[in-house]
Amino acid sequence: MAAPSGGHNRVQDFDQVVLPHLDAAYNLARWLVRNPADAEDVVQESCLRAVKFFSGYRGGDPRAWLLRIVRNTAYSLLERDRPAELNEEFNELLHVSSNPRSRSVEEGLLQANDADLLRVALESLPVRFREALILREFEDLSYKQIAEVMEIPVGSVMSALARGRQRLRAEFRRVGDKEVPRGLRR
């Protein structure tokens, strides 16, 4: 019997394109919606959407393709259930460091050596900054891939990363300062 038009098995193709990136999909969803159960729902809905629209997949970076679907699905959930999160704005006047030689995020993380502080600091960021940082630092996507996932210009990716890193530094210090007194009471 002849293969269906297209010449190869679409289910096998889908499995090869999508399944290797499910961990990245869950990771992004988890950071965007900040709830494991909601993240699982987002990934499940994203996979259903990916199946539905797989015939339109024309190649390219499969991880970026899937993560864009995850992002859009997560934003749909946030718009429906938590619209205020999407409207959080970054006030540069409140969060720009007055010390241009402030330590880098990496130095702060190494000195603090506490993943919980990082998690709390990241979760406190507006969703768009959190998204850009997760895609770059945790998922190791290029600026071009992030632009594709977030559907914004590369210049906007660079701006979001710079502003997100500034805000992360400030939040990390703020969260760390709150942790010190508690630690002294032990």
Selection from 156, 182, 165 nearest residue 107 by Cα? 165
pTM of the model: 0.70
pLDDT at residue 149 above 60? yes
Task: With a cut of 80, say whether residue 167 has pLDDT above it.
Answer: yes
Pick the CATH number of 10-86 from 3.40.50.2300, 1.10.1740.10, 3.40.50.720, 1.10.10.10: 1.10.1740.10
93 HSE (CA, 13 A, CB side): 0
Domain edges within the chain: 10-86, 92-184
Contact 62, 133 (CB under 8 A): no
pLDDT value of position 91? 38
Contact predicate 29/70, CB 8 Å: yes
User: Which pLDDT does position 13 carry in this prediction?
Assistant: 85
How buried is residue 180: exposed, middle or buried, by Cβ count under 10 Å (0-12/13-18/19+)?
A: exposed
One CATH from 2.40.37.10, 3.40.50.2300, 1.10.10.10, 3.30.70.270 for 92-184: 1.10.10.10
In this predicted structure, what is the pLDDT of residue 115? 73
